[in-house]
Amino acid sequence: MQSILPLPTQPVKPGTSTGQQFWQSSEKTIDSYSPADGQLIARVHVSSRADYDRVVETAQAAFQQWRQVPAPRRGEIVRQMGEQFRRYKRELGTLVSYEMGKSLQEGLGEVQEIIDICDFAVGQSRQLYGLSMHSERPAHRMFEQWHSLGVVGIISAFNFPVAVWSWNAMLAWVCGDVCIWKPSEKTPLTALACQQIIGDVLRNNDVPEGVSCLVTGGRDAGEWLARDPRIALVSATGSTRMGKAVAEAVAGRLGRSLLELGGNNAIIVSEHADLDLAIPAIVFGAVGTAGQRCTTTRRLIVQESIYDDVKNRLKNAYAQLRIGSPLDESFHVGPLIDQQAVKGYQTAVNEIRELGGRFVVEPGLIDGSGFESGCYVKPCIAEAENQWPIVQKETFAPILYLLKYTSLDDAIAQQNAVPQGLSSAIFTLNMREAERFLSIAGSDCGIANVNIGTSGAEIGGAFGGEKETGGGRESGSDAWKAYMRRQTNTVNYGTTMPLAQGITFEL
């Protein structure tokens, strides 16, 4: 595949985004292979500890200047970044698709998420509001304000190699923070591309070197960020196992963490559902990104009176799925990210069979011409039980579990009876069922939808989940507060010194 972006011709080195400084003290590299065709597409230098320390020192120095830039001005720079991503949407979306394996439409959609969060952050830059409170003391004014936090570390996952970085970085930047990005070692080239795209914007606006930084590597680089007291906030997206390790390390130094971890998302299909609406949403939720979204639909909880109808409709829909190169827009499903993911799919399939599960749509590997990477698998559907250990786990693959329910209370109980709590949905035209699902006694997830699927969150709403999903919130609403520190202020403009709670203290 020929270069489609203004990328360096040499292996990329760790450093800052403006192109003025790149540091390399390690000869170790990461090889990025496309799951679409198995071809080597990039060789990226791995950051050494010395590289990392230089990046942090540069970021710390940049923060001293960047936080003094007025927030609306920071927003204007982010607006210009959004324009750059608009300019390179097709090219970057194609690269995302090729390096990660998601369909081209999803790759383009991911770049659109960057554009959307840039637009959101521009408006947010003029709305970093505090509150005004009435003091109990006369001639006193009490209020709160928000200040920039510091250096933000961003650890992103392979399945959304650029969008999740932007959810964090764009808000952090308008808040006056600086960012160090540790992308997944499975998708380093897309991270480099993003840094190159914004490089001209940063240079043209005389942004201090170190406002946007990149470090590369595997687990070591993530641990450096998590354990480093110089990093004010670590935002980590990935598996629950990884998130627990990050949370423990950050908490050990009393730092801040923002965690977006695993999902085990369910859709409840009521007997009052519009199935013509539900089936396409279920299929996309289950097979989009080859089941490698944290919001992928993994469990389908169907009212027993319509169970057979739903099952047959899904069999017919799955029979129409076309699997192939993610760059060909005629295909619905692309490959898994690598052979490790394929093994995870096979292990789950074997465990389902051992537990007595019956496949409604059969699993399998796909090989032959056009599938040389060995990363293509068949999306499958298995009749299962919610309490099975394999159903309780998140398998990053296109496996959908089909479950029955009798009453709505039963359905909600099954939905909530997993360790994860990210996304959920119900399909029903019954208002009472919908409101029951959204009530305090309904879904326990961070996202709860009615008559749409579990996948496809919009920028305007805060994204995140509960329980083993980590509790973090990114993107819209008031998620910006995670990237700032709150300060309460009281000003005495009177001529006496009254104390709070009526306390008297005389000398």
Look at residue 1 and tell me if it is in a domain.
no
Same domain, 178 and 281: no
Same domain, 363 and 478: no
Gyration radius (Cα) of the chain, Å:
24
Same domain, 385 and 345: yes
Q: How far apart are CA 300 and CA 311, in angstroms?
A: 10
Look at residue 461 and tell me if it is in a domain.
no
Q: What is the CATH number of the domain that holds 395?
A: 3.40.309.10
The letter for the amino acid at 17 is S
Q: How far apart are CA 352 and CA 363, in angstroms?
A: 11
CA distances from 411 to 177, 400, 406, 416, 417 (A): 43, 16, 7, 9, 10
Structure tokens at 472: 């973090």
Look at residue 142 and tell me if it is in a domain.
yes
Specify the number of domains making up the chain.
Answer: 2
Same domain, 246 and 120: yes
Same domain, 368 and 427: yes
Question: What totals of helices (H) and strands (E) does the chain contain, helices first?
Answer: 14, 22
Look at residue 463 and tell me if it is in a domain.
no
Same domain, 279 and 217: no
* Torsions phi, psi for 265 (to 5 deg): -85, 145
* Torsions phi, psi for 252 (to 5 deg): -60, -20
DSSP letters of 217-280? -SHHHHHHHHH-TT-SEEEEES-HHHHHHHHHHHHHTT-EEEEE----EEEEE-TT--HHHHHH
Nearest to 171 by CA among 106, 56, 57, 81: 81
Same domain, 44 and 179: yes
Low-confidence residues of the chain, pLDDT below 50?
A: 1-12, 18-20
Same domain, 277 and 421: yes
Look at residue 480 and tell me if it is in a domain.
yes
Look at residue 184 and tell me if it is in a domain.
yes
Structural domain boundaries enclosing 32: 15-261+470-487
DSSP letters of 383-407? E--TTSHHHHS--SSSEEEEEEESS
Look at residue 379 and tell me if it is in a domain.
yes
pLDDT of 116 reads 98
pLDDT of 9 reads 39
Rounded to two decimals, what is the model's pTM?
0.95
Residue 260: active-site member: yes
Q: How far apart are CA 122 and CA 399, in angstroms?
A: 39
Asked if residues 278 and 265 have their Cβ atoms less than 8 Å apart, the reply is: no
Asked if residues 151 and 56 have their Cβ atoms less than 8 Å apart, the reply is: yes
Nearest to 7 by CA among 193, 194, 187: 193
pLDDT of 11 reads 45
Look at residue 96 and tell me if it is in a domain.
yes
- How far is it between the farthest Cα atoms of the chain? 91
Q: What is the CATH number of the domain that holds 239?
A: 3.40.605.10
pLDDT of 19 reads 43
Same domain, 203 and 288: no
Same domain, 294 and 243: no
Same domain, 168 and 241: yes
Q: How far apart are CA 396 and CA 296, in angstroms?
A: 9
Active-site residue identified among 106, 110, 209, 260? 260
Same domain, 291 and 341: yes
- For residue 7, give every residue at least 6 positions away whose Cβ sits within 8 Å of its Cβ, in sequence order, or none: 189, 192, 193, 196
